[in-house]
Amino acid sequence: MEEIPKRTRRPNGASSIYEGKDGKWHGRVTVGAKDDGTPDRRHVERKTEAGVIKAVRELEKQRDGGKVRKPGKRWTVASWLEHWVENIAEPVVSVNTIAGYRVAVRVHLTPGLGAHRLDKLEPEHVERFYAKMKAGGSKPATVHQVHRTFRTALNEAVRRRHITENPIRLAKPPTLDEEEVEPYTLEEISRLLDAAADRRHPVRWYLALALGLRQGEALGLRWSDVDLPNAVLRIRRSRLRPKYAHGCGGTCGKKHGGYCPERQPIRPAAKGTKSRAGKRTIGLPPQIAAMLEKHRTAQGIAQKDARQLWTAVHEDDDWVFTDALGKPVNPRFDYDEWKRLLRAAKVRDGRLHDARHTAATVLLILGIPDTAVDGVMGWEPGGAMRRRYQHLTDPVLKNIADRLGRTLWGGSDDGDDGAAGALVPAK
């Protein structure tokens, strides 16, 4: 008599497929464990056996690749972004960065996409949202900033397995055409420096045009960072735009805390440099060192004239650039002063950051080695920032052409290497 083989028991955790009493085919796949340690067994259903087999195999593939969505609460785009900003991003990024994140989330992303379920968001949803932003008047740079914020937030959702992949990586934001920067010519620099002599802080603009200090770096300088005997400047921090809250309990009638008579600062005056390369020591040209010495003397006289109105100067508050009462200069006022300087010098309008492009291009014309340029400008080695900030102006191109001619056809090496002339873009 033939022995009937015993039915073997399916191993624990194995996937199962069966037809239910409802006439549909069902599959169950163990993908891991829940927070309480019990098996996390997912359920799928389809109308046909072939359909449910395909769904089970796909879920097993996701499980084996570590891409299964985490069990529990299903996030909406709005709820995830709010959680990400306040609980994940805010403790670890700078105050400027989190301010940008909050604007992108609350002004753009939550109203535009917040109702979508996070795990159902498609690239097409995002692309249509970008198109609506652009049609509504948002600049491409704003759309890109929103795009970067959204991508960062959903990368974190993927890392925590709330979704299996980031749809933002497939979405195409509008093309961002970078505006061509035109560095100031040597003649324009000379006029700017001459006009700066009549401003409150002449050396402030020398630091921008000659050494390429960022606005925040210049306004964040303290006298403890200035070593005049050794003619060096230490960059350690960056000035932040002030932000205030009401100190009156809401009784002043002003909408914004900055206009409250009893306003209270809620943002520090400065923060550490953005990158490790930004924290650097720069050698001071003798002319700038002399101007800083003169500026410190003038500041001491102003402090005596203001007497008790001058902010009490402590070791941590010895700002190089101050207002009339010894407080650090507001970046907004500094920007306005730059615009006034351009008009006084009768040179074309430009961004304050164009002064940094100008300084970097001067270093290129002078043939300063790349490593030294990175050190002065506060860039990580690699050349990416040099390519962005150093421009092939006419003097640079002439220098290249002259050297190439001497190499191929001979000639004296005593000619002009292009270290002088106008810093104007090549036609």
Q: Which long-range contacts (CB under 8 A, 24 or more apart) does 89-96 make?
A: 89/152, 89/153, 94/271, 94/274, 95/240, 95/267, 95/268, 95/271, 96/240
In sequence order, the β-bridge partners of residue 362 are none
The pLDDT tens digits for 209-253 are: 999 999 999 999 999 999 999 999 999 999 988 888 888 877 888
Lowest mean pLDDT among 3-7, 22-26, 152-156: 3-7
- 35 pLDDT above the threshold of 70: no
Give CA–CA dist 64/81, Å, rounded.
28
| Residue 319: DSSP 8-state | B
Stretch 361-378: mean pLDDT: 85
Token pair in block for residue 279? 């924290």
Range with the largest mean pLDDT of 3-12, 180-189, 309-318? 180-189
- 83 pLDDT above the threshold of 60: yes
Please report, as a single letter, which amino acid is at residue 345: A
Domains in the chain: boundaries: 16-64, 77-169, 187-240+272-349, 241-271
What separation in angstroms does the CA of 188 have from each of 131, 175, 341, 355, 408? 41, 33, 12, 11, 35
Query: H-type helices in 307-383, by residue range?
Result: 331-345, 354-365, 370-377
pLDDT value of position 241 = 86
pLDDT value of position 416 = 47
Homologous superfamily of 187-240+272-349 in CATH? Intergrase catalytic core (1.10.443.10)
Q: Predicted confidence band at 272 (pLDDT cuts at 50, 70, 90)?
A: confident
The pLDDT tens digits for 111-138 are: 999 999 998 999 999 999 999 999 999 9
pLDDT value of position 423 = 43
What separation in angstroms does the CA of 237 have from each of 49, 61, 83, 103, 143? 65, 49, 30, 24, 29
Q: Which fold is adopted by the domain 77-169?
A: DNA polymerase; domain 1 (1.10.150)
Q: What is the DSSP string of 31-75?
A: EEE-TTSSEEEEEEEESSHHHHHHHHHHHHHHHHTT-PPPSS---
**Residues 126 and 134 sit within 8 Å (Cβ to Cβ):** no
pLDDT value of position 295 = 95
Stretch 181-203: mean pLDDT: 91
The pLDDT tens digits for 404-422 are: 666 666 655 554 444 434 4
Element (DSSP H or E) covering residue 4: none
Average pLDDT, the chain: 84
- 398 pLDDT above the threshold of 80: no
pLDDT above 70 covers a percentage of the chain that reads 85
E strand residue ranges, 168-231: 226-227
Give CA–CA dist 229/313, Å, rounded.
22
